[in-house]
Chain A
Amino acid sequence: DHHERKRKKESREAHERSHKAKKMIGLKAKLYHKQRHAEKIQMKKTIKMHEQRKTKQKNDDKTPEGAVPAYLLDREGQSRAKVLSNMIKQKRKEKAGKWEVPLPKVRAQGETEVLKVIRTGKRQKKAWKRMVTKVCFVGDGFTRKPPKYERFIRPTGLRFKKAHVTHPELKATFCLPILGVKKNPSSPLYTSLGVITKGTVIEVNVSELGLVTQGGKVIWGKYAQVTNNPENDGCINAVLLV
């Protein structure tokens, strides 16, 4: 069959070629090899070109769009449409009294988790005392009520005075003294006790940062929100609310 024979002959060509190239000697071989080398270079070039077409190349020549001057480089610009809608959203939030915090939703802690029942009495039957099992903050001038009458026990081992506060823009962390607990999201009871759990908003002393108001007064207290579970870690990590 003509087609079959043609196909087979063509496939044999590669083998015959290599046989010839190996067996050839002398001047003839030199000339042949020179010619063959040039051919191979061309072949390799076309293969590379085809491969380049298949893969995507990084465009080195084009400079990116959106040129900004040096003072705007490290800042993220806001698209104008966003600015207007943000303004409206902020006005609505202010009206509603909702404030932006880094952790808006936190798991609410139940009483059985935060407070442990302490049994007292001759026969250990009375169960009106509770001990706080989470980290808490008590003020400077704190003195306990007489032990017979105190309902809530805050162990000294779980009392903290300082928090590690991170400034979200500067990305620097400072160890600042706590001034007080502003709000514990789980319950107002915990706020009054000074219990600090994840998501609690605390007030910290930022006088060492050197922030100043427009009027020239030094800011010495700012709010920060706690971001870890202090009873597990042994330290309070918070993010400053700017």
Chain B
Amino acid sequence: QASSVSGPEADMSSEDVERLLIQFQDENGEILGSPFDVPLDITQDKLQLVCNALLQKEPVPLAFFVQGEMEVVSSLGTCVKALGVETEQVLPVVYQPQALFRVRAVTRCTSTLQGHTEAVISVAFSPTGKYLASGSGDTTVRFWDLTTETPHHTSRGHTHWVLSIAWSPDGKKLASGCKNSQICLWDPVTGAQIGRTLTGHTKWITWLCWEPLHLNPECRYLASSSKDGSIRIWDTVLGRCEKILTGHTQSVTCVKWGGDGLLYTSSQDRTVKVWRAKDGVQCRTLQGHAHWVNTLALSTDHVLRTGAFEPANATVNPQDLTGSLEELKEKALERYNKVRGSAPERLVSGSDDFTLFLWNPAQDKKPLARMTGHSALVNEVLFSPDTRLLASASFDKSVKIWDGRTGKYLMSLRGHVASVYQIAWSADSRLLVSGSSDSTLKVWDIKSGKLNMDLPGHADEVYAVDWSPDGQRVASGGKDKCLRIWRR
């Protein structure tokens, strides 16, 4: 039965505002409570109060969407008028819980870390945000102390440019791959190399990806992709190659280890292949792109990267993860299931043919959606940490935001004057930072679609950008050999 304040039907009274019957639904379509009769000029915070009361849990910030598309920003009335919805019927209103914590936008450069003697090519924060590592063209990997913003260790061992670095999900190891096809493992605390240098690939390493924490809390296996067209799975404890996955005919540009035990790889031969991690068997080939596939993104990327670390529990001084392996695995698995929900992981691939494809790789060979609109090649795609949005950075100087579930185009962020190289989401999915070849970084507010902060300062192109998982800092490195840290 409909509960209402005055009258059961939506009646048009002459002196006060029109009323409307609405039904709260969550993202998966499950109905919450019974239809409510509300005035048309009800605002977003009143809706939030009502919904939170119905949810009977701790109050969470919520966002409301009418007909799944339009967000209720000011009042319900404006949405209804804009969409032209019939006021006679019950209107479903979808509520989406937003992240509890808010990440503040970074505004200033707190330090310029010099030390590298060549361009900084890759930058990565550890999963808890405690350590920062950077790989550069001078063949070293440097670790930086974040509390004092000074150099911590310089790790030498590579013989050519360090092209890609990857932290293990427990934050205890860093893997780095170089242009001479060697992979080294480093300990962030001492800066020393762990174990042997892993050799085996014949051409340079393009991407490194660790096995997720909830599948193996020891963080033992590492996948590497290379220009020679093969993917190797390494056992870091024994220091040898476990499996070699061949199948691609040209350079493999990206490899991602999914949370369900599947490996996804993209290559310059225009295909994306899905492999089973256990036995290295190829499951599927996803075809459709017309040119090189440059980048991949999984909807659960952020949660796999941070493992058992919960950004809401972050403190000002980042701490290491404590607890036994079992506890960490439990926490990681819990976080993973929460983000993944009931639907399987989604995969997005960006390519040189200026389009992106949204796939459901575990089930289908056919793409869910093809996202067109860019006028130059797409360099990087990233899902937001809450998997609702998708951002793509392209050489046409714009960043485009798409819906993470359907692939529908939402907005374009313009402001850069040269190709956008890399992007990074903040942990609460409200802000996005993009680094470009015009030497600036820009922080965008997703809700309004506008530029929040412009961060100039680099002297030359910005090659790598990363936002720490606890949301406090942004690190960027570029051709001018400096690493800059930005804070609020």
Q: Which residues of A contact B (CB under 8 A)?
A: 63, 65-74, 169-170, 209-216
Enumerate B440-486 residues with CB–CB distance to A below 8 Å.
463-464
CB of B288 within 8 Å of the partner chain: yes
**Selected contact of B118 from candidates A67, A70, A73, A211, CB within 8 Å:** A67
Q: In the complex the two chains form, what is the Cα distance from A19 to B86 in whole Å?
A: 119
Closest 9 CB pairs of A and B: A67-B137, A70-B163, A210-B290, A69-B121, A216-B372, A67-B119, A67-B161, A70-B206, A211-B290
Q: In the complex the two chains form, what is the Cα distance from A101 to B145 in whole Å?
A: 55
CB of B429 within 8 Å of the partner chain: no
8 A-B residue pairs with CB within 8 Å: A63-B118, A70-B163, A70-B164, A71-B295, A170-B291, A214-B372, A215-B372, A216-B372
A interface secondary structure, majority: loop
Q: Kindly specify which of B209-217, B229-237, B373-381 makes contact with the partner chain.
A: B373-381
Counting residue pairs across A and B whose Cβ atoms lie within 8 Å, the total is: 76
**Contact between B294 and A71 (Cβ–Cβ < 8 Å)?**
yes
**Contact between A209 and B121 (Cβ–Cβ < 8 Å)?**
no
For B283-295 the 0/1 string (1 means CB < 8 A from A) is 0000011111011
Q: In the complex the two chains form, what is the Cα distance from A71 to B225 in whole Å?
A: 13
CB of B160 within 8 Å of the partner chain: yes
Known A-B contacts A211-B353, A212-B353; the reply to A73 vs B290 at CB < 8 A is: no
CB of B136 within 8 Å of the partner chain: yes
Nearest A residue to B371 by beta-carbon distance? Answer: A216
**Contact between A69 and B163 (Cβ–Cβ < 8 Å)?**
yes
Q: Which residues of B contact A (CB under 8 A)?
A: 118-119, 121-122, 136-139, 159-161, 163-164, 204-207, 227, 251, 253, 268, 270, 288-292, 294-295, 353-355, 370, 372-375, 379-380, 421, 463-464
Contacts of B207 in A (CB 8 A): 70
**Contact between A73 and B204 (Cβ–Cβ < 8 Å)?**
yes
Contacts of B161 in A (CB 8 A): 63, 67-68
Contacts of B204 in A (CB 8 A): 70, 73
Tell me how far the C-beta of B395 lies from the nearest C-beta in chain A, rounded to whole angstroms. 9
Tell me how far the C-beta of A80 lies from the nearest C-beta in chain B, rounded to whole angstroms. 10
Q: In the complex the two chains form, what is the Cα distance from A180 to B326 in whole Å?
A: 68
**Selected contact of A68 from candidates B119, B268, B380, CB within 8 Å:** B119
Tell me how far the C-beta of A218 lies from the nearest C-beta in chain B, rounded to whole angstroms. 10
**Contact between B118 and A65 (Cβ–Cβ < 8 Å)?**
yes
Q: In the complex the two chains form, what is the Cα distance from A67 to B372 in whole Å?
A: 32
Contacts of B118 in A (CB 8 A): 63, 65, 67
- Given contacts A73-B163, A74-B251, 16 further A-B pairs with CB under 8 A are A63-B118, A63-B161, A67-B119, A67-B121, A67-B138, A68-B119, A69-B121, A71-B295, A71-B379, A210-B290, A211-B290, A212-B355, A212-B370, A214-B372, A216-B370, A216-B372
Tell me how far the C-beta of B275 lies from the nearest C-beta in chain A, rounded to whole angstroms. 21
Nearest A residue to B158 by beta-carbon distance? Answer: A63
Q: In the complex the two chains form, what is the Cα distance from A213 to B355 in whole Å?
A: 9
Contacts of A72 in B (CB 8 A): 463
Contacts of A170 in B (CB 8 A): 270, 291
**Contact between A63 and B137 (Cβ–Cβ < 8 Å)?**
yes
Nearest B residue to A61 by beta-carbon distance? Answer: B159
Contacts of A209 in B (CB 8 A): 290
Q: In the complex the two chains form, what is the Cα distance from A67 to B205 in whole Å?
A: 14
Q: In the complex the two chains form, what is the Cα distance from A74 to B206 in whole Å?
A: 11
Q: In the complex the two chains form, what is the Cα distance from A211 to B289 in whole Å?
A: 8
Q: In the complex the two chains form, what is the Cα distance from A211 to B372 in whole Å?
A: 11
Known A-B contacts A211-B353, A216-B370; the reply to A67 vs B136 at CB < 8 A is: yes
**Contact between A63 and B159 (Cβ–Cβ < 8 Å)?**
yes
Q: In the complex the two chains form, what is the Cα distance from A170 to B370 in whole Å?
A: 21
Known A-B contacts A74-B251, A213-B372; the reply to A169 vs B119 at CB < 8 A is: no
Q: In the complex the two chains form, what is the Cα distance from A212 to B464 in whole Å?
A: 30
Contacts of A215 in B (CB 8 A): 372-373
Q: In the complex the two chains form, what is the Cα distance from A63 to B291 in whole Å?
A: 31
Nearest B residue to A215 by beta-carbon distance? Answer: B372
Tell me how far the C-beta of A52 lies from the nearest C-beta in chain B, rounded to whole angstroms. 22
**Selected contact of A212 from candidates B138, B270, B290, B375, CB within 8 Å:** B290
Q: In the complex the two chains form, what is the Cα distance from A214 to B409 in whole Å?
A: 12
**Selected contact of A69 from candidates B355, B375, B464, CB within 8 Å:** B464
Contacts of B251 in A (CB 8 A): 74
Q: In the complex the two chains form, what is the Cα distance from A215 to B409 in whole Å?
A: 11
Q: In the complex the two chains form, what is the Cα distance from A193 to B382 in whole Å?
A: 53
Contacts of A70 in B (CB 8 A): 121, 163-164, 204-207, 253
